[in-house]
Amino acid sequence: MSHPEFLPIQWKSTHLSLLDQRALPGKKEFLEIHTVEDTIVAIREMAIRGAPAIAITGVFGLTLGAKSKSGKTNSEEVDTLIKQVFESRPTAVNLSFALKEAKKRIEGKTDWESIQKIWESFALEMMVEDLKANQTLGENGVSLFPKDQSEFHIITHCNTGALATAGHGTALGVIRSLRDHGKKVVVYADETRPFLQGSRLTAFELMEDGIECYIISDGMSGWLMNHKKIDAVLVGCDRVAANGDTANKIGTYNLAIVAQEHNVPFYVCGTKDSFDLNLKTGDEIPIEMRKESEVTQFDFLKTSEGKYLLPEGKTAPIGARALNPSFDITKAKFIKNFITEFGCFVPGEISSRLKKV
């Protein structure tokens, strides 16, 4: 079924065009990016974000880096370029896997022109593969929901949709697939402080897609699970260690604890490139520390030149609905299943499942 989706990453042969997610939902503004340096800034400043989208953009960045050079090269020069992109954002493992693969694909190549072509087609291939994987993931996720139930109420955190991927999305992909199966889905989107990916991006995507959505602030999920039957929590992931510990946007852990207390199944959705079997537990996952000002002011609302992007500080789409309970009672545990393009499974099965992919 076709639905309006977004093309946050567009390759224009000569350059990269990125939908500036800092300006959403106010404006659909595109950044025209011609250099690897500007690609890195766009990733670091979260004009583009979401683990799969970061990885794809990173490889287009490499392509632009290679394009700016000519003649012969050597592995030292190539490594410097790759390292620059690698350092843009540390937590999501997708970028690191993509850069390793990018390096493998140019083995034996000594001229920038061939390297550029290989990286360009790799990035384009990643886009096709990610979209396919998300669609399969979405279908796999549907199998976890009772067939005879026609309506589902789902809480999600951050933004895991078309804006964060090459299309369809992971956690939002399952929601889109449920809708494609004729189910009514009501989504409660954690606003996701401090960058507001939930209220600015998830609500925006769901509204454009015609899926009923209520923004809740991050502290409201306990109240909501106490007052409404919630069928599932669906979140994405930035890196999953071999034991199943999962890094995802700040606030995911709190939500998992609340879900456990209320017997609400907590599902983590991600493709194979989110699983890092080199790490035994989540303690080894590097956690990105960002600027304090993102917490103390709405810092993403302005560009690096200090220009504010959203009129009147509006952080939700016009017409977006919200719930606003002022108090809740916090109770005190986690991941029922991973939902991937290679099936749904419990944390203890990660290694055996990944070996077969």
Cβ-based nearer residue to ligand MRU, 158 or 185: 158
Binding site annotation covers 51?
yes
Sequence-ordered list of residues with C-beta below 8 angstroms from that of 76, at least 6 positions apart, any chain:
none
What number of chain residues touch ligand MRU (CB under 6 A)?
16
Interface stretch with ligand MRU, choices 45-53, 111-119, 305-313, 321-329 (CB under 6 A): 45-53
**Out of 58, 141, 236, 317, which residue is the one contacting ligand MRU (CB under 6 A)?**
236
| CA-based nearest residue to 97, from 84, 108, 82 | 82
User: Which pairs count as long-range contacts for 110-118, CB under 8 Å and 24+ apart, including other chains?
Assistant: 110/72, 110/73, 110/74, 111/71, 111/72, 111/73, 112/66, 112/67, 112/69, 112/70, 112/71, 112/72, 112/73, 113/70, 115/66, 115/73, 115/78, 116/63, 116/66, 116/67
**Order of strands across the sheet with 266-269?**
321-322, 212-216, 184-190, 151-156, 232-235, 266-269, 335-340, 343-345
158 is a site residue for ligand MRU (CB under 6 A): yes
Cβ-based nearer residue to ligand MRU, 116 or 159: 159
Minimum distance, C-beta of residue 91 to ligand MRU, in the bound complex (Å):
8
Interface stretch with ligand MRU, choices 49-57, 80-88, 311-319, 339-347 (CB under 6 A): 49-57
Interface stretch with ligand MRU, choices 142-150, 164-172, 174-182, 322-330 (CB under 6 A): 164-172
Cβ-based nearer residue to ligand MRU, 22 or 67: 22
Binding site annotation covers 197?
yes
Q: Residue 211: left (phi > 0), alpha (psi -120 to 50), or beta?
A: beta
**Residues in region 134-153 near ligand MRU by CB under 6 A:** none
Q: Annotated catalytic residue: which of 38, 209, 218, 238?
A: 238
Q: Please state, in angstroms and rounded to a whole number, the distance separating the CA atoms of residues 198 and 272.
A: 24
Interface stretch with ligand MRU, choices 4-12, 78-86, 234-242, 297-305 (CB under 6 A): 234-242
Binding site annotation covers 66?
no
**Out of 31, 62, 102, 164, which residue is the one contacting ligand MRU (CB under 6 A)?**
164
88 is a site residue for ligand MRU (CB under 6 A): no
SS3 187: strand
**Out of 140, 165, 221, 246, which residue is the one contacting ligand MRU (CB under 6 A)?**
165
197 is a site residue for ligand MRU (CB under 6 A): yes
Residue 216 parent element (H or E): strand 212-216
Annotation says 130 is catalytic: no
160 is a site residue for ligand MRU (CB under 6 A): yes
Number of H helices, E strands in the chain: 11, 14
Contact by Cβ (8 Å): 46, 288: no
**Residues in region 240-299 near ligand MRU by CB under 6 A:** 248-249
Q: Please state, in angstroms and rounded to a whole number, the distance separating the CA atoms of residues 97 and 263.
A: 35
Backbone angles phi, psi at 144, to 5 degrees: -85, -10
191 is a site residue for ligand MRU (CB under 6 A): no
Supply the angle between the helices 171-180 and 112-142 in degrees, to the nearest 10: 50
Minimum distance, C-beta of residue 83 to ligand MRU, in the bound complex (Å):
20
Cβ-based nearer residue to ligand MRU, 8 or 50: 50
49 is a site residue for ligand MRU (CB under 6 A): yes
194 is a site residue for ligand MRU (CB under 6 A): no
Q: Which positions make up the binding site for substrate?
A: 49-51, 89, 197, 248-249
- List the catalytic residues: 238
| Site residues (vs ligand MRU, CB under 6 A) | 49-52, 92, 158, 160, 164-165, 170, 197, 236-238, 248-249
